[in-house]
Structure 1
Amino acid sequence: MVKPRLESASHRLLFSGGKWMPALFDAEGPPDVFTLGSIETKAMEQVANDFLAVAGDEVGSPAWTTASSDFWHDVPASVRKRIARFRRDSGESGALLVQALPVDELLIPDTPAHSGSVQREATVPAALLSLFTSGLGDPVAFLAEKSGALVQDVVPVPGSESFQGNEGSVMLSFHNENAFHPHRPDYVLLLCLRADHERVAGLRIASIRRAFPQLSTECRESLFRADFVTAPPPSFGGGEATEPHAVCGGDPEDPDIVVDFAATTPLHDAAGKALRELEAALEATSVTFCLAPGDMAVVDNRISLHGRTAFVPRYDGRDRWLQRSFSLRDLRDSRRYRPNDGHVLVK
């Protein structure tokens, strides 16, 4: 594993073993870390600019998505190889932290502060996100969420502080992205443009691969039964819960997970007991780390949950700003929901 650049504890913190500590990312640390060298960073910037020269001005247009697929092959081989390895096996943590991407905070405009904020204008950060989504699969979005934008802003919004979603600033509970949806993303990509003022807004990661060995046999068996329902998140406008589903599926020794602890409801007491045991195990084996500009977290949404620690926004144009994109490994499975074979699911 490549060691990241070390920064002050006030800038990079890791919550592990029940306490905050400098995030050195050792063997017990959060995700695997891949730090670009200076030559790779410059090469990524060149590829992003070449991409922008032909992709047009609108993020998400047909020209844009075609360019993201084409220009991924111009990304440095070392980066493509690392992403290919992660795509094949996302590891115990189910997450990868890519560092030293070419994001210059001095060139970043004021942090948006309105609901539903997205990135429609072509920028280097938007190009970077789109390149990596293409490297992992295909970019995808959902019409009901942020108008189906392929690159979305994750920013605090005045009046939404207690919102359990990307516009809030209270503790965000662990969840799979769009756990209610049959075609939820396989990967969630979060690129940091600007950190919060106090550098305390931590990205939380919890992997079923780390938690599963801690569970009782009774709990494991319960989680594989279709005894749970999950409601759409507030960002989708709410709505009816899903049909009953299992929280764990696939290989009994290496399962996938589908849960949102703010929206998944057990259908009876035994299922509730199992869900509580799972949540405790995930919390006990989770890690938290802060992102800096140029850091991108890639979360395997099939085996890892993510959340966020609380922070206090100032709404002064310099609040925390992440940009987010989703990737699907197999776009064909969702064809019936994507008009004209596009990248936006209408249901």
Structure 2
Amino acid sequence: MRTPITTLQLPAHAATRLAMAAGQITANPYTETDAFAVQADAAAQLLDDGLASVLDRFAKGQIQSALFLRGVPVPQSLPRTPAASFHLLLAPQRTRAEAVLATVGARLGEIFAYREWDGGQLVQNRYPIAAHHGVQTASDASDLVLHTEACFTAYPPDFLALLGLRCDPAGEARTVVADIPRALALLTPAQRKILRDPLYVFPTDRGPHTHGGRRTTAPVPVLHDSGQGPVLEYSTLLSAISSAGVSTLTALEEALNRCALTVELGTGDLLLIDNRRTVHGRTTFHPTYDGSDRWIQRVLMLRQLPPSGRIVPDTRLAHYPTEYLKALALPV
């Protein structure tokens, strides 16, 4: 039972229209946050009617939970893939793909960022970094476990968009997506009930609780209900504090794996993910760290911004593992 992914090869006229709309964005996404977002909102109204219709249907949950666009216009030439975190570079330069990514993203919702991630930049650049080897983060080359983005934070994104700038030269890196409703349908009613119990924790050396001699986060449910249906907050890194929780978590992981598909993000490929209906991850690959490695850009979207505005806090920060905080150059 595999996750369906709607794939759309952009017609030439739609790609041209997208490039023209993105060309209206002049603000720098890394230094002019508000202006960039406002211009992206305006550019999103200039898209080809066919593409706009598909994006609007996707945003409303009327088509599959992942949408794969091919032939998105990106620059013909790129600088070398950086060796350090993009927001820590002395002079980060725009690739000119940021405006294209933001134009599509803004059609789905309000672009936002977490204050503590990537220096609060609206466009996040993801590529392997040698110093992050062995840390569970998108800048590591080992597998990125299945998860819902920013699960258990106060403001999880409704959507995320991943744009391929440079593909993995070895062709090993694959983005993994799995449809949540289809996976939940594979579980029994009793198992879905157990997922609603506060039985699930993350191991962390900064956790306020202990279980089995290890420090952990506070126990929480992973499944709850909203006005739009069931919401799953999930990561393969979760563990359970009861035998029923352990067996149910295993059943959930197996169900998600049964529904999973992989896609390769090549240059000009854009993967849109409904974070309310999809878990995602990435397979292991072997970078060379020589400037030719895989490079993607990402934006996050909310259907409605919170009162605090476009740059929101990551409310889980106090309990992140120390090694993760160090890898992201965050205060320990």
| Counterpart-to-counterpart distance in 1, 2:143 and 2:274 | 21
The separation in 2 between residues aligned to 1:270 and 1:252, in whole angstroms, is 27
1:112 counterpart = 2:87: no
Counterparts in 2 of 1:252 and 1:227: CA distance versus 1, 3 Å: farther
> In the TM superposition, what is the alpha-carbon distance from 1:184 to its structure 2 partner?
1.0
- Which residue does 2:55 correspond to in 1? 83
CA 127–252 in structure 1, closer or farther in 2 if over 3 Å, else same: closer
Give the paired residue count: 306
Residue 177 of structure 1 is matched in structure 2 by 149
Deviates more, 1:56-65 or 1:270-279: 56-65
Counterparts of 2:144 and 2:54 in 1: how far apart (Å)? 29
Do the aligned partners of 1:30 and 1:289 also contact (CA within 8 Å) in 2? no
The 2-side partners of 1:122 and 1:85 are apart by 30
Q: Which runs of 5+ in 1 are unaligned?
A: 1-16, 18-27
Alignment of 1:102 onto 2:66: no
Counterpart residue number, 1:249: 224
Alpha carbons of structure 1 residues 231 and 180: separation in structure 2 relative to 1, 3 Å: farther
Write the distance in 1 (CA, Å) between the matches of 2:253 and 2:294: 27
Question: What are the Cα deviations for residues 288-307 of structure 1, in whole angstroms up to 9, with x where unaligned?
Answer: 11111111111111121100
| 8 A contact 1:194–1:292 mirrored in 2 | yes
Which one of the candidate residues 149, 160, 164 is aligned to 2:121? 149
Do the aligned residues in 1 keep the contact of 2:160 with 2:272 (CA within 8 Å)?
Answer: yes
Q: 1:343/1:144 Cα in 2 relative to 1: closer, same or farther (>3 Å)?
A: closer
1:120-179: CA deviations, max 9, x gaps?
644431112222222111111111111111111110001323221111111111011111
What is the correspondence of 1:9-88 to structure 2 with a 5 Å cutoff? 30-52=4-26, 55-56=27-28, 58=30, 60-88=32-60
- Residue 193 to residue 209, structure 1, CA distance change in 2 (3 Å): same
Cα 1:163–1:58 shift into 2, 3 Å? closer
Q: Check conservation: 1:118, 1:153, Cα contact below 8 A.
A: no
- Distance change in 2, residues 1:138/1:59 (3 Å): farther
Contact 2:74 / 2:100 at 8 angstroms: preserved in 1?
A: no
Contact 1:204 1:309 in 2 (8 A): yes
Amino acid at match of 1:317: G
Matched with 2:262 is 288
Residues 259-308 of structure 1 deviation map (CA, whole Å, 9 limit, x = unaligned)? 1112x232322111111110011111111111111111111111211000
TM (norm. structure 1) is 0.81
Does 2:233 match 1:258?
yes
Q: Distance in 2 between matches of 1:253 and 1:343?
A: 25
2:203 & 2:45 partners in 1: Cα distance?
39
Question: What secondary structure is seen at the aligned counterpart in 2 of 1:124?
Answer: coil
Are the counterparts in 1 of residues 178 and 256 from structure 2 also a CA contact under 8 Å?
yes
Q: Secondary structure at the match of 1:271?
A: helix
Contact 1:68 1:131 in 2 (8 A): yes
Number of the residue aligned with 2:328: none
Q: Distance in 2 between matches of 1:280 and 1:345?
A: 33
SS at match of 1:50: coil
Are residues 122 and 198 of structure 1, via their aligned partners in 2, closer, same or farther at CA, if it must alter by over 3 Å? closer
Q: CA deviation at 1:180?
A: 2.6
Of 224, 229, 233, the residue aligned with 2:201 is 229
Of residues 238-247 and 271-280 in structure 1, the stretch that sits farther from structure 2 once superposed is: 238-247
Q: Secondary structure at the match of 2:219?
A: coil
Alignment pair present for 1:166 and 2:138: yes
Identity %: 27
Find the aligned partners of 1:85 and 1:231 in 2 and give their Cα distance: 38
> For 2:228 and 2:61, how far apart are their aligned partners in 1?
15
Question: CA RMSD of the aligned region, Å?
Answer: 2.6
